[in-house]
Structure 1
Amino acid sequence: MSIGIGIVGAGMISNFHAKAIADSTNGHLVGCYNRNTARAEEFVAKHGGRVFKTLEEMLADPEIGAVSVCTPSGAHAEPSIQAAEAGKHVMIEKPLEVTQE
């Protein structure tokens, strides 16, 4: 069974995550959400999948079982919490947040 994965963020690190997903036998890239839609469009042109216009749209997609959070440090908490609340598995490369607050 292959798990559908959505990537949040379309910066440099998201390319490494997309490659790891492509190399996986148990996961496949469904698409990407980025606040800057043009960057998300560039990302999916390179890696495949579809562009999600909002995080809520991505989290509502039943094909997505996991979300890889590739936002800058200090911007991991909000999408991670939303993904968890939507019942998705969450992968975060760095700490959830940069302060204890």
Structure 2
Amino acid sequence: MKLTSNVVLRLFMSKRRSHEEDESEDIANIVTETTEIVGKFNLSDHIWFCKNLDLEGFGKLSKDVHRRFDALVERIMREHEEARKHGTGEVKDLLSILHDMRR
């Protein structure tokens, strides 16, 4: 799990996962929580009249995970953009390529 996480983070952001980095832990927690939400049985998926009801609280939980994921991605992109402006982002990673394509 740690090896896969390091490879993916290295590909996208030129970073490695370590226990000291809060950002890496946040990413791992968000992925774990997303996997748990997707893997759980949701009554609303199987009973048509429960579609608009959040009986198990999945809607609230998924909105919370989504909000935290968006904040994390925004912070990562802002830091990456600042590093590129100051010339410290020398390594081309996927995030740099996507930034270049956006321009």
TM-score by length of 1: 0.27
TM-score by length of 2: 0.27
Q: Which one has the bigger strand percentage?
A: 1
